[in-house]
Structure 1
Amino acid sequence: MANDPKIDRRNDVTPKEGEHKYGDVEFADRTNKKYPIDTPEHVRAAWSYINHKDNAAKYDADEVSTIKERIKKAAKKHEVAIQDA
């Protein structure tokens, strides 16, 4: 997948690490290969992580919103119940 125009490249991560760890899966942050959302377990974990202030602080408000919307969409697809934080 190509870089995501809605999310900037972060200097504190290596996208290849995410690909190496999770494979060619869908990520809520496609640019940096963060927050895999390909399984119910990953969806729950992604939601939990993005709702931690220290993780969300690495993005601007629009980027957090984009990531959350993608996680919510994946949750619906995988029939995972998540609560707005």
Structure 2
Amino acid sequence: MTKDPKIDRRDDVKPTEGEHKYGDVEFADRTNKKYPIDTPEHVRAAWSYINHKDNAAKYDADEVDVIKDRIKKAAKKQHVTIEDE
């Protein structure tokens, strides 16, 4: 497993659960296997979840920026319209 240099490992998450649930897909949080961004539906869901204060609070501000940037790039690639928070 390659560690994402920009996002720290969270103690409250088991990365294997994300892989088990979604398979080998791209995640906005690659370290913890959170926020899958492999389909338009997942992109919309990831954007919604990361914009909830309780979810974003589990990350440092710079980590939230990295996650949001990855979701935005996935949205553009998949022609999904998301609204800035």
Residue 2 of structure 1: CA displacement?
A: 1.1
State the SS of the aligned residue for 2:6. Answer: coil
Matching residue of 1:6: 6
| Root mean square deviation, CA, Å | 0.6
- The number of residues matched between the two structures is 85
What TM-score comes out, normalization by structure 2 length?
A: 0.99
In structure 2, stretches of 5+ residues that fail to align are none
Q: Which runs of 4+ in 1 moved over 2 A?
A: none
Structure 1 residue 32: deviation in Å? 0.1
2:66 — aligned with what? 66
Is 2:77 aligned against 1:77? yes
Structure 1 length normalisation: TM-score?
0.99
Deviation at 1:3, TM superposition (A): 1.2
Q: Give 1:47's aligned residue.
A: 47
State the partner residue of 2:32.
Answer: 32
